[in-house]
Amino acid sequence: MSFPDKEKRQKCWDSRDRYWECLDKSGDQIEKCVEVRTLYETTCPSQWVKHFDRKREYLKFKERINEGYEPLDEKKNTKS
């Protein structure tokens, strides 16, 4: 299987950026960005889609941590 060359990589990154913009606008509501997502999934290899989805999760989590969210507090509250 041949790897995605520079041009294909750039197309994939652009479609990913468009998808993420749509998510930011709609407030992370996947239902509102289905079309963009379909295009994104055709432009990028499925492994990359998985990778970028994970990356988005991570970036969102990082943002919450920077705003003062403490994941351990949640765990403490649910236990008690």
Partner 1 sequence: MFISYSTKFPYCFRLNLCVRKSVNGLHNVIPLRFFKNGPGLQSFSNPTSQGLPKKKEVFGKKGPISYKTLLVTAGLSGSLLAFMLYVRKEKEAAIQLERNRALGKAAISGKFNLVDHNGVKKSSDDFLGQWLLVYFGFTHCPDICPDEIEKLVKVVDNLDQMKGVPKVQPLFITVDPDRDSIQSVEKYVKEFSPKLIGLTGNKEQIAEACKNFRVYFSAGPRDQDDDYIVDHTIIVYLINPDGEFVDYYGQNKTSENISAGILLNISKFDQSKHSFWK
Binding residues for partner 1, how many (CB under 8 A)? Answer: 16
DSSP for 29-57 reads -GGGGHHHHHHHHHHS-HHHHHHHHHHHH
Q: Which of residues 20-79 bind partner 1 (CB under 8 A)?
A: 45-48, 50-52
What CA–CA distance (Å, rounded) separates 21 from 5? 24
H or E stretch at 27:
none
Interface segment toward partner 1; rule CB under 8 A; list 6-14, 21-29, 33-41, 67-75? 6-14
* Site for partner 1 contains 19 (CB under 8 A): no
User: Residue 25 or residue 51: which is nearer to partner 1 going by CB?
Assistant: 51
